[in-house]
Amino acid sequence: MIITPIKTRTLMPPKDDLRAAISAALPALKERSVLAITSKAVGIDEGRCIPKKDVPDKDELIKKEADKYLSRDFVPNRWVMHTVKHGVFIPSAGIDESNANDHYILWPEHPQKSAENLWRWAREHYKIKELGVIITDSHTIPLRRGTLGISLGYYGFTPIRDYRGEEDIFGRQFVIQIADIADGLAAAAVLAMGEGRETTPLALITDIPFVEFTGRKYAPEKPFSSFEIEAEEDIYYPLFSQLPWQKGGGGA
């Protein structure tokens, strides 16, 4: 797998042309590539930016954007508000204020649809057939310091690799093993793009024979093979279910 971060001009809130920036920075795309794009770049492209001066209380904005949230009182030093947004456990509903020129940058309103729209544009613009698009962001995992990438939206490839029913190297049949392709690619891309002032909101991922490209929306064919899952199915549900979640506005 080869990951190449792509430097662009600075995308300026509250709205800028992401497709023009991609075209200028990336003259060509090869078949069987995956293009990773930060959610911040997509948010700016979609005008999902709010001047900080217009938001007297960031916590109220978080509550409005979150599907559900926890009070800061449940977090050490009250650093963040834990939220769930678009089925993702993420601090602050994904609202970002770094490299934002005095704006709050929100997640794309519909990340999956945004990924599909960018996929359709890129296939047409670059005249290629097999392409994947991932919209990325950074998040944290419990009991680890620092951030790593996650996929908010994807299109053009199968997001998981299901090993169930196959045999391991000793002939034992896999029962629950499913590889998360979309988030694995996102984590690698975000690591290459950086988290500071690199101005590399894109990464091109190539040499990925394990990725199954497709021209349609992923539709699971076997039980328990969806990419997104309901909270009650999650192995961490016993932890989540004990918390006093409050209903947020869901971006409405």
Q: CA-CA distance, 201 to 99, in Å (whole number)?
A: 11
- Long-range (24+ apart) CB contacts under 8 A made by 81-87 are 83/248, 84/245, 85/251, 86/111, 86/152, 87/228
Specify the amino acid at residue 58.
K
Helices (H), the chain: 18-25, 39-45, 58-65, 111-126, 181-193, 237-240
pLDDT tens for each residue of the chain, 252 residues long:
999 999 999 999 999 999 999 999 999 999 999 999 999 999 999 999 999 999 999 999 999 999 999 999 999 999 999 999 999 999 999 999 998 999 999 999 999 999 999 999 999 999 999 999 999 999 998 899 999 999 999 999 999 999 998 999 999 999 889 999 999 999 999 999 998 888 999 999 999 999 999 999 999 888 888 999 988 999 999 988 999 999 999 987
Q: How many CB atoms lie within 10 A of CB 124?
A: 9
For the chain, the domains span: 2-247
* pLDDT for the residue 223: 87
Query: Rg of the chain over CA atoms, in angstroms?
Result: 19
pTM confidence score: 0.94
Please, are residues 59 and 244 in contact by the beta-carbon 8 Å criterion? no
CATH superfamily name and code, 2-247 = CofE-like (3.30.1330.100)
